[in-house]
Chains A and B, each alone.
Chain A
Amino acid sequence: MASARSPSALLGTFRAASHRPATAWRQRCSYHSQEYTQPPPFPPAESAILTSALSHVPSYGFTADALRLGARDAGYMDVSTNLLPRGVFDLINYHLVTQRLALKSTVQFPSTGDQGKKLGTGAKVRTLTLARLRANEPLIHRWQEALAIMAQPSYASTSLAELARLADEIWYLAGDESVDSSWYTKRASLSAIYSATEVFMTQDKSKNFIETEQFLDSRLGDVMKMGGFIGALSEWADYTAHSAVNVLRSKGMRV
């Protein structure tokens, strides 16, 4: 009996031993970046120069002059702007990155909405997108310069990557947890809407950018309609294809 029991006892100890590494492994796997403090996106000297340079943008625009004045304010010299290899584009990039990262702390959602019900993902996306657009407000009369620089061939890919990161950040903060192909379509459509609204905003003369807000709402509405239509269309196509295959099979065809 003792000999018969020993294998199971052995197995038991083996299980007990293997249990701990398994949890450790699971803990190692479940890394979530939001649980850790991220390093600052720019080194201190660059941040100092760029932060003070941004304060000169409303009067000097996105130009080398704003950079030079920023460097002087930060205790550096004109020549120190060589620290920024891409010059003015680094200034724009700094604005884009810092404003994207600021969204996390500037927009807080209450656990329940005004009427006591929870805020939907769509509403959260709208709020976050508006908050990001409003962050351009102090520079909006100069923003076309920035858009022109971002569209230059050597910077276009970096700018598009930053746009994608912004769309991802907004969907993430809105609590989107999709893991299907809509992960891509959501980000793509939000990127398109955001960039269109941003361009619209540079021309908006209305009070408190009310027209920009309306423009954003109607674009988001379009996407909802389009999304619903495309969803229904793909469902219909899928059903039809399956039925066709099944009809062929019922006729004895080897499909």
Chain B
Amino acid sequence: MNAQSARVLFRRQLLAGGRPRAGAGAAERGQYRCLSCTARQLQQQQTPPKRDGTTHFGFETVAEALKEQKVRGVFSSVASSYDTMNDLMSMGIHRLWKDHFVRNLNPGRNPLTSGPSEQKGWNILDIAGGTGDIAFRMLDHASTINHDAHTKVTVADINPEMLAEGRKRALETPYARSPRLNFIEANAEKLDMIPDNSIDLYTVAFGIRNFTHKEDAIREAYRVLKPGGVFAVLEFSKVNNGLFDAVYKRWSFSAIPLIGQLVAGDRDSYQYLVESIERFPSQPQFRDMIQDAGFLVPGQGWEDLTGGIAAIHKGVKPA
């Protein structure tokens, strides 16, 4: 008898206090940095998309004006240890991705097969390429594979520390003093210094994730590209296989911040890194964003790398 009445009472309490209790639970959970993060992610997806002055910074919601500063802060603090960290986090695979990205785009105009023409070489704009990773590969590919000594790369980055790192590294390449490589500090959403229809190839490797307004950046890319020009993005994406995804999530949310803390002495920046990867749109969503800006997409619109950990998206400006 006694036990039964107690059970009834408990049930009633549940019914009465169901709602506030659930709310309290969510708030409680909010204070923790959770590893699986699905609960938190769901919570944040319910909030309507920004444009009302706030945007996401990893899993945090911050004022739009702040995001740029915060991203700048992250990359200022990681600039010096950027390469070591990339190698450790991706187990060296990021080099393969970048090599494939560049080889696939096949930059450079081969003077032996293309015959005489007024335009010499490609005009490449590498956005968010501060450390020059993509730029040096582009120039190497153009020179050694396509025998093209005219292709130019402009490296743009919002972060002076990353540009300084790139300039330092350029000294070890043959391009340091040549007019084929130059560095500019620029925000990808406002490329005022670059005229309309002037770029053959616009690339962003592991950068677009950090942009405050991705749509604006894509529209700006459309503006600066020549008709027929290519917009190419190498970016972290969504893993297709459920099992592999579970392993990958475990690695990225527990190991990467730890490696960041141990090697670079900066846990927060790397926590931001994995959270921003999680927040980046899936392959079809990002493909639709590129299409919405007016680009033609080749085939299905993207190519998965290593099971979807990263993906290459391309768009061609119609001629």
Contacts and interface: CB of A to CB of B under 8 A. Distances in A.
Interface of A: 43, 45, 64-65, 68, 71, 74-86
Interface in B75-123: 104-107, 109, 113-114, 122
Interface stretch (B15-23, B176-184, B228-236, B247-255): B228-236
B316 A85 contact: no
Contacts of B165: none
Contact of B232 (A43, A68, A71, A82): A82
A83 B298 contact: yes
Interface string B212-235: 000000000000001111101000
B316 A80 contact: yes
B114 A79 contact: no
Contact of B106 (A45, A64, A83): A64
A43 B104 CA distance: 22
Nearest to B108: A78
Contacts of B106: 64, 81
20 contacts: A45-B318, A65-B113, A65-B114, A74-B319, A75-B228, A76-B228, A77-B228, A78-B109, A78-B122, A79-B105, A79-B122, A79-B200, A79-B201, A79-B228, A79-B229, A82-B230, A82-B232, A82-B298, A82-B314, A83-B316
- Which 4 residue pairs are nearest across A and B when measured between Cβ atoms? A76-B228, A85-B299, A80-B228, A77-B228
Interface centre among A71, A82, A86 (most CB of B within 10 A): A82
Contact of B230 (A65, A74, A80): A80
A155 B289 CA distance: 29
B191 interface: no
A82 B105 contact: yes
Nearest to B226: A77
A83 B122 contact: no
Contacts of A80: 228-230, 316, 319
Contacts of B104: 82
A75 B318 CA distance: 10
B296 interface: yes
Nearest to A81: B106
B303 interface: yes
Interface residues of B, number: 24
Contacts of B113: 65, 68
Given A77-B229, A78-B200, A83-B230, 12 more contacts: A68-B113, A77-B226, A79-B105, A79-B122, A80-B230, A80-B316, A80-B319, A82-B232, A83-B296, A83-B298, A83-B314, A86-B299
Nearest to A74: B319
B270 to A, nearest CB: 33
Contacts of B232: 82
Contacts of B105: 79, 82
B199 to A, nearest CB: 10
Contacts of B109: 78
A43 B299 CA distance: 10
A68 B200 CA distance: 14
A157 to B, nearest CB: 16
Contacts of A79: 105, 107, 122, 200-201, 228-230
Contacts of B107: 79
A85 B232 CA distance: 12
Interface string B179-203: 0000000000000000000001100
A84 B319 contact: no
A74 B316 CA distance: 14
Nearest to B297: A83
A86 B314 CA distance: 13
Given A45-B316, A79-B201, A71 B228 contact: yes
Contacts of A71: 228
A91 B251 CA distance: 41
A45 B303 CA distance: 20
A41 to B, nearest CB: 14
Nearest to B229: A79
Contacts of B122: 78-79
Given A75-B319, A79-B229, A68 B296 contact: no
A32 B109 CA distance: 48
Nearest to B122: A79
Contacts of B201: 79
A84 to B, nearest CB: 6
A142 B150 CA distance: 32
B122 to A, nearest CB: 6
A224 to B, nearest CB: 42
A54 B232 CA distance: 26
Interface string B150-192: 0000000000000000000000000000000000000000000
